[in-house]
Amino acid sequence: MADFSKIIGHEKIKEHMTNAAAAGKVSHAYILSGEDKSGKMMLAEAFAQTLQCEQGGAKPCNECHSCKQAISHNQPDIIYVEHEKPNTISVEDIRQQVNADVVVRPYSSKYKIYIIDEAEKMNTQAQNALLKTIEEPPEYVIILLLTTNAELFLPTILSRCVTLNLHPVDAKLLRSFLMQNYEIPDYQADICVAFAQGNVGKAIDLACSSEFNELKEQVLQVLKRIDQMQEFEVIDAIRRIHEYNLEIRDYFDLMMVWYRDVLLYKATADVNGLIFKDEIYAIKDQANRSGYEQLNEILEAIKKAQARVVANVNFDLVVELLLWTIKRNMG
């Protein structure tokens, strides 16, 4: 559990939470909506720790008994609602862990705070069961709904909660954060930031992932010499993709960023805007050998390949067709 000072970005949400805590004007239900790994749980836990802190105020002291319990995830009045089924939060989960529990007063704190992660997985019956508590909660109850898709909530749930939407974190701030806290060079931070698109959790995962760096090197090795590759080398490149446990879209995203760099350099001859600055000689060479029409065709082919994989078209066939399309346009 981290307090607000450890959370990068999301300044407006942090300000809202700290002001509410300081003034004692806390809503009985909140929705924190944002991408997976965007920081929803960190914000929810920091808010919960602040509200339960024995010192009161806008920020947790990190020293009192309640804060120490919260940091170790042992605070009895901060309850994490769990669910056994991977894709569903059932009505029984809500009834047993929330509705039946809210009637019991806090064990040692001012509030009882329920954190429901992946709240979009609540089925209609579960949402209706929770609605009863949200409509008439005991004064000490606070419910935090963490979701990647608030649109799946019933309108009655949405209307009775304060919704806080998480937005992408500024690229410069995220870049600086990665370099300072994970001791990675600037060019690697640029790549992580470009792929994370303002998502702090994903940026950290990429910065710490040896597999992502290996995949990046393998993809670039293919793209830098694809016009010279023989058929057996193309097939071997496809086979090697399966050695990595990362999301397949990362492979296509790497390709997309590479050819956007080539296109950008061809249009501007400016190194500063490139993600793969450390590959400037290869990028310059491909920019000089390719036309705008060919590069745009490659980028469109990558988009089509992404869509085909999402539609469950055979992955090997999709990648083989893509690589031959790239090879033809780079020849």
Phi, psi of 276 (to 5 degrees): -95, 60
Predicted confidence (pLDDT) per residue in 212-248, tens digit: 777 788 888 888 888 887 777 777 777 776 665 456 6
Average model confidence (pLDDT) for the chain?
Answer: 89
pTM of the model: 0.78
Place of tokens 């089924």: 85
Q: How far apart are CA 151 and CA 28, in angstroms?
A: 20
> Using an 8 Å Cβ cutoff, are 178 and 193 in contact?
yes
Q: How confident is the model at residue 123 (pLDDT cuts 50, 70, 90)?
A: very high
Q: Which residue has the higher pLDDT, 133 or 191?
A: 133
In the chain, what percentage of residues exceed pLDDT 70? 96
pLDDT at 242: 63
pLDDT at 139: 93
pLDDT at 247: 60
Two tokens at 130? 């929770």
Which residue from 53, 102, 60 is spatially nearest to 81, judged by alpha carbons? 102
Predicted confidence (pLDDT) per residue in 35-85, tens digit: 998 999 999 999 999 999 999 888 899 999 999 999 999 999 999 999 988
Q: Which of 58-62, 162-166, 275-279 has the lowest mean pLDDT?
A: 275-279
Max CA-CA distance within the chain? 72
279: left (phi over 0), alpha (psi -120 to 50) or beta: alpha
CATH of the structural domain 4-165, one choice from 3.40.50.150, 3.40.50.300, 3.20.20.70, 3.30.70.260: 3.40.50.300
Q: 209-330 in CATH: which number?
A: 1.20.272.10
User: Any idea where the domains of the chain sit in the sequence?
Assistant: 4-165, 209-330
